[in-house]
Amino acid sequence: MTTVTLTEQTDESRLLSAMQQYWGYDTFRPLQREAMQSVMQNRDSVVVLPTGGGKSLCFQVPALCRDGLALVVSPLISLMKDQVDALRSCGVSAAYINSMLTYEERVAVSNDVRAGRLQLLYVAPERLLQEKTLALLESTGGISLVAIDEAHCISQWGHDFRPEYRALSILKDRFAGAAVHAYTATATEQVRHDIANQLGLNDPNILVGSFDRPNLIYKVARRSGLMQRLAETLDRHNGESGIIYCISRKEVERISASLNELGYKTRPYHAGMSDEARKQNQEAFIQEEADTIVATVAFGMGIDKSNVRYVIHAGMPKSLEHYQQESGRAGRDGLEAECLLFFSEADYVTWQRIIQDSEPQSQGGAIQSLQAISNFCTSVVCRHRSLVNHFGQDFPEKPCNACDICLGDVELAADPLVTSQKILSCVYRQGQRFGGDYTALVLKGSKDQRILSNGHDQLSTYGLLTDIDRKTIRDWIEQLVSQGFLIKAGEYNVLQLTESAREVMRGEVTPALLKARKKTKERESKIAAESWEGVDQGLFDELRKLRRDLAEDRGVPAYIIFGDATLRDLARKRPSNLGNFRNAKGVGEKKLKDFGEVFVDAIISHCRQHDLDTDVGASKPKVEKPKPARNIASSSALRSFEYFRQGLTITEVAAKMDRAPSTVTGYLSEFIQHEKETDATKWLDEATIREIDRAIEAVGDEKLSPIFNHLDGKVEYSAIRIVLACAQNAHAE
């Protein structure tokens, strides 16, 4: 039973309004409210939420609602820059201190800290612990809160232990007034307690969310025709971002090269490449020049790209923990994303060998983890449930609608009890001394030399499943292993019966066996259908291009401009004015100012061309268009100038530069300004120019939209902009 106090209520409305103003979000994700309130109340906390759960906002929003500087400790330099870029793009004053800064930059940040100009400061742990950094922070007199991101690094039980994190316990002494908050996606209780102890937290509020990722659609299949399946998947996600994980470097090279040959834009990534090449490929992925990264598990740390739409495992991962982490890089933005896992028995053996060679001390645990993922692959239990249960949480007893099992991609075999009994008794009669491949051959009735010389063609179980193909029998054996009726023992993975196998033999328990995969069209998940509801795909693609162009011009990752969720909402509501634009998901004040006009222009002209309604479901507009911002020409804009000089049209330049027409119109306005062009006939016919001139006479040249409306929307915004720009130059002469 919780009672909501008055302060909590006012806190909550302040938090909501800051979240709305800066980020354009109007509801909390699960546990965000509680986590933010802990910060407001200055109570230490440990917050465990899955990847994409929205941990950053848990400290960023309250940082804006409290006086003083919020200190954020983050282990990964690349993430730091990303987060600071993202905060600035929302209008928050943030900075970071780490080894990447030049001397001048460091001085500038120090000055900002002393002058109290910053709301959030990100610091790498080793920097923070230097006496001069601590002294600088103390000199401000007002640290409002301390947030430790990726806090599992503090625990040696976590998968990414960093010894320097241990020394962070001094934070409690040096900034006695500020509560310390730790954030992680790592689930185990041991890690959680270790974090609280190591940091010396005082009666921390421990908040643990559900580890389920409802927007991820899990599908698992045996690996056959891999290239074909990869191509199908990439086609389905044409132009979207994704990751393909492979076990070995060789495979990375091979798959990436084959996909490139087929015309897909992929880049390889593995620890055997030079730092420079790796960095380039990672950049290309983040900037969306390449759609797909083909990588070993070396890829992914420190990447917060929010719109990864698919993660494919071309081989079995090493453990469920690894699978959770790697597949978890999909769909951080909360939109649906696909996680496909292709496996084969051979993968188990490959990992077994790698583990034996590289971690002789911890073999037992590693092999157990390997068995767990292998069971997951062959099991017939809902994937969401399997994963959540593995991490010690319950999952509701109903279909998730987001996995191969619940979507009915797989079908159960007829008569599973009798079939299972045949398999189990075959294992028994062979003396529990043979592996899965061999057992399948015996059941199939093979004339294999080994079978004959062992006399196993004389067993009563020989040829019992002669009508079934060998691969299916082999699959069923694995399914019996994953359901705990058989175990694989010893170095040679020989099959042995378990206690529960006896219950099957007595007919008390019926295992679930799958029919072989059919070649029918896979049913699509409902989640995907819903999140695309009402979205115009063509406009979405156009806006995505515009986003990429803007990102490139500004040197930030594309998703920092707007997330996919925002673009879809825009392509759904299609706002034609800034008031309605502001109402789209993820549009705060600052982004409205920075990007509103160019996006609205693109939306209007697309809708006009394709005869689409604008302002779907919107009420009256609230905000008027501000004057267009005058920016210094970017390098891409400069490149376009050359084409304009050659007399190319907007469409031609857009095609040449692979840019959205709306972007190119922006460049053209800059070009006209830059070249002091006064003659619009280079781009427009005289009749159009005359019409626009007349409209300007009627309604003035203060704003674009009255001119546009005066012309009944028959003339594009881009044309009006061109005429206005030329007119301005003419006046100036």
Give the interface with Zn ion as residue ranges (CB under 5 A). 382, 384, 400, 403, 406
**Which CB sits closer to ligand ADP, 25 or 708?**
25
CA distance 662 to 609: 13
In angstroms, give the least distance from the CB of 511 to ligand ADP.
Answer: 38
Burial of 154 (0-12, 13-18, 19+ CB in 10 A): buried
List helix spans (H) across 90-175: 103-114, 125-128, 131-140, 170-174
**Which CB sits closer to Zn ion, 526 or 610?**
526
Q: Which does 403 bind (CB under 5 to 8 A by kind): ligand ADP, Zn ion, Mg ion, none?
A: Zn ion
**Which CB sits closer to Zn ion, 341 or 561?**
341
SS (H, E, C) 367-411: HHHHHHHHHHHHCCCCHHHHHHHHCCCCCCCCCCCCECCCCCCCC
In angstroms, give the least distance from the CB of 323 to Zn ion.
Answer: 15
**Which CB sits closer to ligand ADP, 25 or 211?**
25
Residues that bind ligand ADP (CB under 6 A): 25, 27-29, 32, 49, 51-57, 304, 306, 332-334, 563
Task: Name the one range near Mg ion by CB under 5 A: 49-57, 169-177, 373-381, 410-418.
Answer: 49-57
Q: Which does 400 bind (CB under 5 to 8 A by kind): Zn ion, Mg ion, ligand ADP, none?
A: Zn ion
In angstroms, give the least distance from the CB of 307 to ligand ADP.
Answer: 9
Contact present, 665 and 650 (Cβ < 8 Å): yes
In angstroms, give the least distance from the CB of 487 to ligand ADP.
Answer: 37
> Residue 506: how many CB atoms within 10 A of its CB?
9
In angstroms, give the least distance from the CB of 44 to ligand ADP.
Answer: 19
Q: Which does 54 bind (CB under 5 to 8 A by kind): Zn ion, ligand ADP, Mg ion, none?
A: ligand ADP
Write down the residue that tokens 């601590």 correspond to: 134
Helix (H) or strand (E) holding 45: strand 45-48
Write down the residue that tokens 């705990």 correspond to: 484
CA distance 653 to 640: 7
**Which CB sits closer to ligand ADP, 485 or 562?**
562
If phi > 0 it is left, if psi is from -120 to 50 it is alpha, else beta; for residue 627 that is beta
**Which CB sits closer to ligand ADP, 82 or 677?**
82
In angstroms, give the least distance from the CB of 510 to ligand ADP.
Answer: 41
If phi > 0 it is left, if psi is from -120 to 50 it is alpha, else beta; for residue 24 that is left
**Which CB sits closer to ligand ADP, 55 or 573?**
55
Secondary structure of residue 206 in the 3-state scheme: strand
Residue list 335-374, contact with Mg ion (CB under 5 A): none
Task: Name the one range near Mg ion by CB under 5 A: 37-45, 48-56, 255-263, 514-522.
Answer: 48-56
Write down the residue that tokens 């079934």 correspond to: 468
CA distance 484 to 472: 19
Contact present, 44 and 203 (Cβ < 8 Å): yes
Residue with the shortest CB distance to Mg ion: 55
**Which CB sits closer to ligand ADP, 137 or 180?**
180
**Which CB sits closer to ligand ADP, 308 or 637?**
308
Residue with the shortest CB distance to ligand ADP: 54
Contact present, 185 and 218 (Cβ < 8 Å): no
Of the chain, the end-to-end C-alpha distance in Å amounts to 74
Q: Which does 49 bind (CB under 5 to 8 A by kind): Mg ion, Zn ion, ligand ADP, none?
A: ligand ADP
Q: Which does 406 bind (CB under 5 to 8 A by kind): ligand ADP, Mg ion, Zn ion, none?
A: Zn ion
- Write out the residues near Mg ion by the rule CB under 5 A: 55
